[in-house]
Amino acid sequence: MGFGERLTEATRKAGTPLCVGLDPRWESLPIELRSKRGGETPESLEALADAYEEFSLAVLNLVHGLTGVVKPQMAFYEAAGTAGLVALARVMQQARAMGYITILDGKRGDIASTAEAYAQAGLGGARHGKGLFPVWGADSLTVNPYLGADSVEPFIDEARRVEGGLFILVRTSNPGSGLFQNLDCQGEPLWQRVARQVKAWGQVSSGEAKLADVGAVVGATQPAELAWMRQNLPAVPLLVPGYGAQGGALDAIKPAFGPNGSGAVVNSSRAILFPYQPDATDWRQKIHHAAQKSAKELANISGMAGT
Amino acid sequence: MGFGERLTEATRKAGTPLCVGLDPRWESLPIELRSKRGGETPESLEALADAYEEFSLAVLNLVHGLTGVVKPQMAFYEAAGTAGLVALARVMQQARAMGYITILDGKRGDIASTAEAYAQAGLGGARHGKGLFPVWGADSLTVNPYLGADSVEPFIDEARRVEGGLFILVRTSNPGSGLFQNLDCQGEPLWQRVARQVKAWGQVSSGEAKLADVGAVVGATQPAELAWMRQNLPAVPLLVPGYGAQGGALDAIKPAFGPNGSGAVVNSSRAILFPYQPDATDWRQKIHHAAQKSAKELANISGMAGT
């Protein structure tokens, strides 16, 4: 079973293309979690990391059954120091144990053996001597394509070894993403060039999902690009960030989906993690309800509902 | 004193534009360091990380005075798990304490507040509440520009706050780097577009070095591109990887330098870290001599020698 198949199964089982982003931020955490660790300012990075771990594990429980895919953002754990990265490793382990498909969002990209080191750490485990050492153990990674094919191929090889996948940055959700991505390159915008390469890199799974193991990141803020991707590259799975707090509207996402809501996962982070004032005592319910609401909205707009 | 000034002072003091890359790899480490930690295969990631730390700290001592700049490659420490990242934090701390200018090579790049999290962790320290928490504490970072201006600006803001710098990926040293970087984009190759943007992002220091705080990564395998950069963007500092083991020839690097060998640092990793068979007992001398040789070669070719 290839990654395309695994991703499709996870979204179908949850009945929604929702992906919940794990982007912990101290300032937005419930006061309940902060007050015992320093209050306004964390006592230490260890205390901060501990709060991130408690919060992330709580979220994994609260959205269980409501989504099949989670996406931890490495930057926020890194900003909690090495203790934060230890917390991330535990969160990844728990996410896997709970059956989530994980997308580890580090947007890595480097040359040759360096890319291989990131790929092994991210996916199947680092090889040293004759040993195999799990590090993050993700099902898939986000990867930056700027360095070219030989920088992406080590990630592809490693992903394929473990039935994992990749999401290559194609057209990102930030307002300034067009600066290079939209440059006219020999008759088409750079992002389309990258997208065609993403298609060439992918291997379509043999099951009925007909989705490749190399996908593309295309922001919810780019509806025309989502439509182009879906029409021209139907087998490329899409990771769509920017829905919710970043301003991507529901209608804008609609073109991202294939038949029965297949082919795309839509990430929401802040709108699900922090739909409450920090002093709310019912933050758990609020997270659960926000995930329920997003899961349902996306099930409807994608066409997955009722299939 | 801006980053351009600090970088220039560090290379002048060492008398060479050499930058020593810290890319630890288990298979290449001296057997002396491996035998007490499992031999062919490390006993654990903790043992591996311990070996990386011992080796990296030894290298910092062995090349001290021979180079002013070191560049730890995050991927290799990450492939030693969270213990490896703890080792990296200690290596960074020691490098700073010894007066090196550090280039933390993670090739990060992300949007808005996520980029800010990476930038703070990499450079001046993470802010949470009213606290400032050092993480990697680097003097400069490598950054991938594909996501556009608003993904790079948080790095610039943070770098400027601490008189730090950035090296933006422009034309990388890998054989396949041209796939996107060389695409003709509205009359010029993509990498030149990126390079012009790098110039626009930079702020030239007020001292005599006349170098900006935003630099460019251009591989030693790209002599024409190095020459173009130096001629057209004289104030943009260059980080030149790929010299030595990656096949970049000495002559190819020559065009990278301005007057008196200024304006570029040339990275060498494997040729300095591993110029011996693993069972060599004189690996320390070999590292020292390899650094001496590279430092001298680069002092000569750059025009820094005798100035």
**pLDDT (tens digit per residue) in B236-277:** 999 999 887 666 678 889 999 999 999 999 999 999 999 999
Interchain pair B41, A130: CB under 8 A: yes
Q: Are strands A69-72 and B18-22 parallel, antiparallel or unpaired?
A: unpaired
Among B45, B144, B150, select the one facing A176 at the smallest CB separation. Answer: B150
Q: What CA–CA distance (Å, rounded) separates B65 from B190?
A: 38
Interchain pair B128, A27: CB under 8 A: yes
User: How sure is the predictor about A123, in pLDDT bands with cuts at 50, 70 and 90?
Assistant: very high
* Strand partners of residue A101: A69
Interchain pair B180, A145: CB under 8 A: yes
Q: Is the pLDDT of residue A168 over 70?
A: yes
Among A107, A175, A186, select the one facing B183 at the smallest CB separation. Answer: A186
What is the CATH superfamily name and number for domain B3-302? Aldolase class I (3.20.20.70)
Q: Cβ(B42)–Cβ(B51) under 8 Å?
A: yes
CA distance B210 to chain A (A): 27
Q: What is the pLDDT of residue A246?
A: 63
**pLDDT (tens digit per residue) in A44-83:** 999 999 999 999 999 999 999 999 999 999 999 999 999 9
Please, which residues have CB within 8 angstroms of residue B19's CB and are 6 or more apart in sequence?
B67, B69, B70, B71, B103, B239, B265, B266, B267, B268
Determine whether A107 is an active site residue: yes
Taking contacts as CB-CB distances below 8 angstroms, the residues of chain B near A186 are 183-184
Summarize the confidence of residues B39-68 as an average pLDDT: 98
What CATH architecture is A3-297? Alpha-Beta Barrel (3.20)
Taking contacts as CB-CB distances below 8 angstroms, the residues of chain B near A39 are 129
Summarize the confidence of residues A117-121 as an average pLDDT: 98
Summarize the confidence of residues A164-172 as an average pLDDT: 98
Radius of gyration of chain B from its Cα atoms, rounded to whole angstroms: 19
Q: Are strands A18-22 and A69-72 parallel, antiparallel or unpaired?
A: parallel
Handedness of CA B82, B88, B93, B94 (dihedral sign): positive
Taking contacts as CB-CB distances below 8 angstroms, the residues of chain A near B85 are 82, 85
Closest by CA position to A279, among listed A44, A62, A49, A33: A33
CA distance A208 to chain B (A): 33
Backbone angles phi, psi at A20, to 5 degrees: -95, 120
Q: What is the pLDDT of residue A277?
A: 95
Count of other CB atoms within 10 angstroms of residue A198 = 26
Task: Tell me what ipTM this predicted complex has.
Answer: 0.97
C-alpha distances (whole Å) from B120 to each of A215, A277, B71, B90, B107 are 30, 26, 18, 18, 15
Under DSSP, is residue B147 helix (H, G, I), strand (E, B) or coil?
coil
CA distance A106 to chain B (A): 8
Catalytic residue among A13, A36, A71, A107: A107
Interchain pair A179, B148: CB under 8 A: yes
Interchain pair A181, B144: CB under 8 A: no
**How large a percentage of chain B has pLDDT more than 90?**
92
In the block, tokens 């190399």 appear at: A214
Interchain pair A79, B118: CB under 8 A: yes
Closest residue of chain A to B150, computed from CA coordinates: A176
3-state helix/strand/coil string of A225-254? HHHHHHHHCCCCCEEECCECCCCECHHHHH
More confident residue, A306 or B298: B298
- Tokens found for residue A305: 């509902």
Among A40, A120, A173, select the one facing B130 at the smallest CB separation. Answer: A40
Closest residue of chain A to B27, computed from CA coordinates: A129
The dihedral formed by the CA atoms of A278, A281, A287 and A292, expressed in degrees to the nearest 10: -140
Interchain pair B23, A135: CB under 8 A: no
User: How is residue B257 annotated by DSSP?
Assistant: -
Mutate which of A29, A74, A76, A78 to disrupt the B interface (most B C-beta within 10 Å)? A78
Q: Is the pLDDT of residue B81 over 90?
A: yes
Interchain pair B146, A148: CB under 8 A: no
pTM for the model stands at 0.98
Please give the interface size between A and B, counted as residue pairs whose CB atoms are below 8 Å apart. 223
Taking contacts as CB-CB distances below 8 angstroms, the residues of chain A near B76 are 114, 117
Among A85, A107, A147, select the one facing B82 at the smallest CB separation. Answer: A85
Mean pLDDT of chain B: 96
Mean pLDDT of chain A: 96
Angle between helices B45-62 and B81-97 (to 10 degrees): 20
Among A115, A173, A190, select the one facing B190 at the smallest CB separation. Answer: A190
Q: What CA–CA distance (Å, rounded) separates A265 from A257?
A: 9
**pLDDT (tens digit per residue) in B4-29:** 999 999 999 999 999 999 999 999 99
Catalytic residue among B107, B210, B254, B296: B107
